[in-house]
Structure 1
Amino acid sequence: MAEPPARGYIDPNFPNPMGPGDATVIIYGYTPSIIVGVLGAALFLIAGILHSWQLFKYRTWYFCTVLIGIAFEIVGYAFRCLSSKVDPYRVNYFVIQYFFIVVAPVFFSAAIYTVLSILINVTGRRYAPIPPKLILWVFITCDVVATIIQILGAALVGVAESNRKDPTTANNILLAGLAFQAFSFFVFILLFAWFLVKARRVLFKVVKKGFYVAFGIAVVLVYLRVCFRLAETAQGLYSKLSTHEVYFGCLEFAPVVVAIFLLTAWHPGRCIPRTRPVYVED
């Protein structure tokens, strides 16, 4: 029985090496740009250096998950470079870059959740609907579960494509993980907004005002990235969103980079006091 024809993108300027680890098509839907790969690795490296310096200067160990996420981003974009210049058909390159770029924002989200718990501690428990430790456990657990589902789905997509099988089921698994992540992060945004409204008078006395603007924009940008991934996966593997790198650049790469540099410029170590000021009442 003849094999079904390959479905997907094949780069006419980059012949398939047809190695043991190569898919019959480029799973990305395009040949990744070396510019995006190098720019991503370089910008995150710079952000990592700046965050490392501030982490040790202000001893904000609770914010160390940002560094882990940055390291993941660097690895992810390094493998996109390999896909771009070495072999865009290699399944391992696709899966590894997807794993690290998808997992990295989980560590950024963990840092964002931690910032809310720190703000609650310095303003008073009365302004939050649930204890700060519970916020960390609930939302970090949700992110971990969602990410595991996404990684499983992405890996199964790679396997299905390399074996010329229908990837619909694998893509649905990936979609479920993203939908759960989008829902849980949206709940966090509502909780954070509720806290800001309740504690606004105290917060403006305790924390620098510019921090709220920068932090709020960073949160929205991270959520925008989650929504993009959700929309991309919902459209399917060969949709417009997944087969044009410009969307990846504008809605995955750019939002995360801007969010990280905002958190670098308005680092919580400089903007949030270590202890509750004496004029803040419980």
Structure 2
Amino acid sequence: MPMLEKYLGEVYLWKYVPNLTAAIAFAILFLILTIIHGLMIWQTRLWFCLPFLLGGTFEVVGYIARAIAYMSTGDMVPFIVQAVFLLLPPVLFAATLYMVYARVVRSVQGQRFSIITPRWTTRIFMIGDWLCLNIQSGGAGLTPRAHLAHIGDAIIIAGLGLQVLIFAAFLSWPVTLFGSQSNFKREEIAL
């Protein structure tokens, strides 16, 4: 049975022993879904979805590193690899969603109903995600140091919280857009 090991006899990198079964299951799941998604991107030539594919690939690498860490919780390499490769994918998935939103707005001629033009939507939210990623990365850099681990954890949670708020703001935009557009169409029909 694996046990938590200290890194350099100083600090525990993990607060728990990673679950081997879950890590393998998620690695396989993301591998299958990423391959399917890659084939769909290839067939449809929707190259703007490549960040989504890259995010899926990162998830596979991250969960493989977590599975490796099951037997070596005191080893820094799998800890860093899983931390980085599991923190990055949400940003890549969100970037793809922002680009899809901009294309949908253009395809339904909804530019006049959008809070911000589709051209700026992706840029604004990507800057927000980049900021969150840097906050989280800064926190992750502090966690291996025993005396700074709690501060690092708090910084990571703050970065994740900000990312959730930014994504919630993004989710409100399509609701506003399609609500405004449907009201406009009802008024048009009534005339």
TM-score, scaled to structure 2: 0.87
What SS class does the counterpart of residue 36 from structure 1 fall into? helix
* Per-residue deviation, residues 129-181 of structure 1 (Å, max 9, x unmatched): 211110000001110110111011012112x1xxx324232223223312221
Kindly indicate which of the two structures has a greater share of residues assigned to helix: 2
- Which residue of the other structure, out of 156, 162, 166, is the alignment partner of 1:174? 156
Q: How far apart are the structure 1 equivalents of 2:42 and 2:4?
A: 47
Q: 1:123 to 1:23 in 2, by over 3 A?
A: farther
Q: How far apart are the structure 1 equivalents of 2:95 and 2:128?
A: 11
What SS class does the counterpart of residue 14 from structure 1 fall into? coil
Alpha-carbon contact 1:95-1:155 (below 8 Å) kept? no
- Which residue of the other structure, out of 113, 126, 143, is the alignment partner of 1:157? 143
Q: How far apart are the structure 2 equivalents of 1:40 and 1:106?
A: 18
- Which residue of the other structure, out of 178, 181, 184, is the alignment partner of 1:199? 181
1:119 equivalent in structure 2:
104
Alpha-carbon contact 2:6-2:73 (below 8 Å) kept? no
Question: What is the CA-CA distance between 1:200 and the residue it aligns to?
Answer: 4.4
Question: What is the CA-CA distance between 1:16 and the residue it aligns to?
Answer: 6.0
Structure 1: give runs of 5+ residues left out of the alignment. Answer: 1-12, 203-282
1:184 equivalent in structure 2:
166
Q: 1:227-246, aligned counterparts within 5 Å?
A: none
Q: How far apart are the structure 2 equivalents of 1:181 and 1:196?
A: 24
Cα RMSD after superposing both structures: 2.2
Structure 2: give runs of 5+ residues left out of the alignment. Answer: 185-191
What SS class does the counterpart of residue 167 from structure 1 fall into? helix
Q: 1:22-101, aligned counterparts within 5 Å?
A: 24-25=11-12, 27-84=13-70, 86-101=71-86
Question: What is the CA-CA distance between 1:23 and the residue it aligns to?
Answer: 5.2
Percent identical among aligned pairs is 25
Question: What is the CA-CA distance between 1:122 and the residue it aligns to?
Answer: 0.4
Alpha-carbon contact 2:19-2:67 (below 8 Å) kept? yes
- Which residue of the other structure, out of 124, 140, 146, is the alignment partner of 2:132? 146
Q: 1:34 to 1:118 in 2, by over 3 A?
A: same
* Per-residue deviation, residues 198-252 of structure 1 (Å, max 9, x unmatched): 23489xxxxxxxxxxxxxxxxxxxxxxxxxxxxxxxxxxxxxxxxxxxxxxxxxx
**What code does the residue aligned with 1:106 have?**
V
TM-score, scaled to structure 1: 0.60
What SS class does the counterpart of residue 152 from structure 1 fall into? helix
Alpha-carbon contact 2:5-2:73 (below 8 Å) kept? no
